[in-house]
C-alpha cells in the first residue's frame, strides 16, 4: 500500500504545502452509429421508385381518394422504411420506428 492511496492527492499536497492539482472524473461516452439508408425522395413517381429500389415487400391498400380535396394515398413497405405516395408521387419516406 503506498502513501498516495492512503492519504489521497489533496492530503499529500497539504502536507507538502503546495496547492493540489486539479482533479476531474473521467466521462466515457458511448458512440451511437446511425446508418443512413437510401430512401425514395419526394417527387419520384411509382415506376421510378420501383426501378431504383425494387419491388416493395408489401403494397398496402390505398386510403382516401374519395374527394378532390382528399387525394388517394398509397403506401409501400420496404425493409426498414415505408414510402407514402399522393396519387403516384412520393410525398414522404419514413424509417420504421421513427
Q: What is the pLDDT of residues 21-66, one digit of tens each?
A: 566 677 676 665 556 678 999 999 999 999 999 999 999 999 988 8
How large a percentage of the chain has pLDDT more than 90? Answer: 49
Radius of gyration of the chain (CA): 30
Q: Of 57, 36, 56, nearest to 46 (Cα)?
A: 56
Q: Of 82, 80, 90, 10, nearest to 45 (Cα)?
A: 90
CA distances from 47 to 2, 14, 17, 53, 61 (A): 75, 78, 80, 10, 18
Regarding beta strands 81-86 and 89-95, do their DSSP bridges make them parallel or antiparallel, or are they unpaired?
Answer: antiparallel
pTM of the model: 0.61
Q: Of 72, 45, 43, nearest to 60 (Cα)?
A: 72
State residue 98's pLDDT score. Answer: 61
Amino acid at each position: 500500500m503506498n502513501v498516495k492511496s492512503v492519504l489521497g492527492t489533496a492530503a499529500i499536497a497539504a502536507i507538502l504545502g503546495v496547492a493540489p492539482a486539479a482533479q476531474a472524473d473521467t466521462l466515457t461516452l458511448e458512440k451511437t452509429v446511425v446508418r443512413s439508408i437510401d430512401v425514395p425522395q419526394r417527387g419520384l413517381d411509382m415506376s421510378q421508385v420501383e426501378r431504383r429500389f425494387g419491388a416493395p415487400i408489401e403494397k398496402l391498400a390505398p386510403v382516401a381518394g374519395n374527394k378532390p380535396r382528399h387525394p388517394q394515398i398509397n403506401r409501400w413497405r420496404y425493409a426498414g422504411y415505408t414510402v407514402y405516395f399522393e396519387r403516384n408521387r412520393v410525398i414522404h419516406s419514413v424509417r420504421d420506428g421513427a
